[in-house]
Amino acid sequence: QKEVEQDPGPLSVPEGAIVSLNCTYSNSAFQYFMWYRQYSRKGPELLMYTYSSGNKEDGRFTAQVDKSSKYISLFIRDSQPSDSATYLCAPTRGGSNYKLTFGKGTLLTVNP
């Protein structure tokens, strides 16, 4: 079993839709849960991260972690064409000096 599983999609939605992106993981030592956005041929950009279980909201984005089921979610409200990118979940055991374990990434297209 891979440490991090993420449905690669692709996922195509109309503008304004609510998008749900999900990952599962197997390593119970993961404590920090990152979400990155990567545009084609660019480096990943940190969207947000959460520590342990719970929700965190930042504008149109909400990250959710359920450690009991080892399930990570990212919700995007009022999706925009500019949100079209690959979204990568990346849990880690510790702080910034710990290596990230990336999911495969989900390719999202938001159609105008």
State the minimum distance, in angstroms, from the CB of residue 102 to other proteins. 5
Distance CA 6, CA 24 (A): 7
Distance CA 60, CA 31 (A): 24
Which lies closer to other proteins via its Cβ, residue 9 or residue 17?
9
The residue type of 50 is: T
- Look at residues 90, 78, 86, 88 and name the one whose alpha carbon lies nearest to residue 108: 86
State the minimum distance, in angstroms, from the CB of residue 69 to other proteins. 22
- Look at residues 43, 48, 77, 44 and name the one whose alpha carbon lies nearest to residue 65: 48
Chosen residue from 28, 68, 82, 97 binding other proteins by CB under 8 A: 97
Which lies closer to other proteins via its Cβ, residue 82 or residue 96?
96
Q: Given the rule CB under 8 A, which residues bind other proteins? A: 8, 34, 36, 41-46, 49, 88, 95-97, 99-100, 102-105
